[in-house]
Amino acid sequence: MKLQQLLGYTRKALEDCHMIENCNKITINIFSGKDSLTLLYALSGLQRFCPKKFELEANTVNIDFKELDFPAVTSLCKELGINYTVVE
């Protein structure tokens, strides 16, 4: 799927289902799935031109996994300008 198509589907779902209002803060929980990363990337792209302004952040809930480390997620969030937190 191309990025334009992904953004189009995401925008349509947000509008049709009234999922975002002005000044919402949206947190995406990321563990290891590509679905949450795709959603994060799509919402980040839509932030630039969506008429409703919203904030994005990402987190991972560490449920007692030793040495949990997500360098790729940390790097992506930094690249997108999204705050990323690991919640213990």
Q: pTM for the whole thing?
A: 0.84
What residues contact 11, with CB distance under 8 A and at least 6 apart? 46, 50
Topology classification of domain 3-87: Rossmann fold (3.40.50)
Position 45 scores a pLDDT of 92
Rounded-to-integer distance, Cα 20 and Cα 18, Å: 6
Q: Where are the domains of the chain?
A: 3-87
Position 31 scores a pLDDT of 77
| Residue whose entry in the numeric block shows the structure tokens 């213990």 | 88
Mean pLDDT by 10 residues, the chain (88 residues): 88 91 92 85 90 92 71 90 90
Q: 84 in helix, strand or coil?
A: strand
